[in-house]
Structures are given as structure tokens and as C-alpha cells.
């Protein structure tokens, strides 16, 4: 057995040779730049998709982010940002569609919204600046004789007969008596066409009775022929008017406590009238 002699005094031994780095060491993970870009674009697109006025920007960025996120899943490097970008771009697109349809619905509603103005029986306009303008609710109905106006129609409520059983029975022998606990009432009103359509227009006004309990009764619930029934089928031309009655079967004990809900046109808001 050989023994290595110690080095002479004052002489430093050579360092031991180091092993070369292992070829099996794990390399540092590569960055997935495409996934990062997809993630950033999806976030920005999502934000814009929530803003109605900038919705188009979101619709441009979100599909780009979606495509880049798909590409990043097949590229080398981490997949986390790509997956996050993919999910956010899909959710952002759904949100964008919801915002879009909400904007369209609001635009359509605004386009078809018809403003109705009201005036009292003496022709003076009734202010709509109050907290509860007259005619806007059952608690503050317009009085009989009041007039409401839209862009193309004027309607005046002329009167209400709260006990019209006799008139209805006399008008047609085939009319059924009012159901038990109810009585027939007649609502008389005048419609005037103030539009300028050369082809004229057909009146589409509706008159409903709202009970003291809040239930709605319309004229279609009473299959009877009433005297001087208003004609809502004939075409009216600018300046022409039609007057007549609408019949309704309402609770007999509280007939005078209800209100009338009148729509001057098919797209107009309801306006409430007192029945006496």
C-alpha cells in the first residue's frame, strides 16, 4: 500500500479537480411571450367590453386575445397566462354581447317611447315637474274632462256613467246582465288624430278600470254591445275625431273608488283618470 508523502513545507497542494456540470440538470423554464400578450389583451378587451361607448374596441381585442391564447398553448414555456387569457377572452365576449343587447334594447325603447302631456278641463297644462304629477299614478288621477296629448293623438275623457246596467240592457236584448257583484259602467271619450300621415291612422287607445284593490279590468272582459260604442276600427285623417263609449263590468260596491288607466296609443304610457 503506497502512501502519498506530504508536500514539502511552504508548497500549496494543487486543488482537487471539480466534476463537470451534469448534463441532466433542469434548464430554466422558458417564458411564454405569446401567452403574456394574450393575457394582457384579454384584460384590456374585457374592460372595454363593459363600456357601452367603447364596446367595439373590446370586440376587436377579445378575438385577438382568444387566438393568441390558443397559439400560446402549443408554444414552449409556461401555459398559465395563456389559459387565463383564453378564459378571460371568452367571458369578456359573453359580457360584450350582454352589454350590446342592453344598449340596443334601451335604444329601441327610447325610439318608441312616446311622451304624453296632460291638460285640465279648462285647457291649462298640468305641471309634470311635481314629485307625483297628475295622472302619473292611481293616487293622483286626472279629473274627468281632462285632455291628454301625444305626438299624433289627443284624447279627452268626457264622462263616466257608474250605473249603466239599464242602458246596456236596453241596447241589445242579447246582452247578458252584469255578473253577480258587478255593475256595468260606461266611459265616454273623444279621440282626435293630429298627425300628418296622408294615409291616416287607426286609433289604438285603450281604457282599463283599476279596482280599489289594484286589479285591472278591460273592455274585452265584457262581451256586451254598449250604446254609442266608440269606433276604433275606422281610419282617421288629420283633424278628424271619433267619440263614444267603452263598457266595463266593475265591482258594484266600490265602483266609484276605482280609477281608469288610459293609453292614448299602443306605445304610450298609461295615464290615470278619476271616475267621478
**What's the confidence (pLDDT) of residue 156?**
96
How far apart CA 108 and CA 102 sit, in angstroms, is 10
The residues pairing with 247 across neighbouring beta strands, listed in sequence order, are: 186
Q: pLDDT by residue (tens digit) across 112-169?
A: 444 556 554 544 444 444 456 889 999 999 999 999 999 999 999 999 999 999 999 9
**What's the confidence (pLDDT) of residue 59?**
81
Which parts of the chain have pLDDT scores under 50? 110-114, 120, 122-130
**What's the confidence (pLDDT) of residue 207?**
95
**What's the confidence (pLDDT) of residue 26?**
57
**What's the confidence (pLDDT) of residue 6?**
64
Q: Is the four-CA dihedral 51, 56, 59, 64 of positive or negative sign?
A: negative
**What's the confidence (pLDDT) of residue 18?**
60
How far apart CA 186 and CA 170 sit, in angstroms, is 14
Amino acid at each position: 500500500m503506497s502512501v502519498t508523502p506530504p508536500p514539502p513545507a511552504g508548497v500549496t497542494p494543487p486543488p482537487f479537480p471539480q466534476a463537470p456540470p451534469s448534463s441532466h440538470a433542469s434548464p430554466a423554464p422558458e417564458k411564454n411571450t405569446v401567452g403574456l400578450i394574450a393575457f394582457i389583451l384579454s384584460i384590456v378587451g374585457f374592460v372595454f367590453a363593459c363600456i357601452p361607448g367603447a364596446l367595439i374596441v373590446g370586440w376587436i381585442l377579445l378575438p385577438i386575445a382568444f387566438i393568441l391564447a390558443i397559439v400560446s398553448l402549443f408554444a414552449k414555456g409556461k401555459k398559465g397566462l395563456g389559459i387565463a387569457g383564453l378564459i378571460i377572452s371568452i367571458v369578456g365576449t359573453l359580457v360584450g354581447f350582454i352589454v350590446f343587447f342592453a344598449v340596443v334594447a334601451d335604444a329601441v325603447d327610447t325610439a318608441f317611447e312616446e311622451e304624453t302631456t296632460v291638460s285640465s278641463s279648462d285647457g291649462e297644462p298640468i305641471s309634470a315637474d311635481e314629485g307625483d304629477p297628475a295622472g302619473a299614478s292611481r293616487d293622483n288621477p286626472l279629473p274627468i274632462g281632462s285632455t291628454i296629448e301625444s305626438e299624433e293623438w289627443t284624447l279627452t275623457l268626457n264622462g263616466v256613467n257608474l250605473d249603466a246596467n239599464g242602458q246596456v240592457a236596453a241596447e241589445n236584448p242579447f246582452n247578458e246582465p252584469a255578473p253577480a257583484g258587478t255593475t256595468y259602467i260606461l266611459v265616454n271619450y273623444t279621440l282626435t288624430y293630429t298627425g300628418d300621415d296622408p294615409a291616416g291612422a287607426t286609433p289604438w287607445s285603450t281604457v282599463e278600470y283599476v279596482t280599489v284593490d289594484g286589479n285591472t279590468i278591460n273592455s274585452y272582459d265584457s262581451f256586451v254591445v254598449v250604446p254609442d260604442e266608440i269606433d276604433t276600427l275606422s281610419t282617421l285623417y288629420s283633424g278628424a275625431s271619433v267619440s263614444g263609449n267603452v263598457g266595463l263590468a266593475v265591482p258594484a260596491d266600490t265602483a266609484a273608488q276605482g280609477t281608469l288607466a288610459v293609453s292614448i296609443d299602443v306605445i304610450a304610457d298609461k295615464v290615470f283618470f278619476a271616475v267621478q
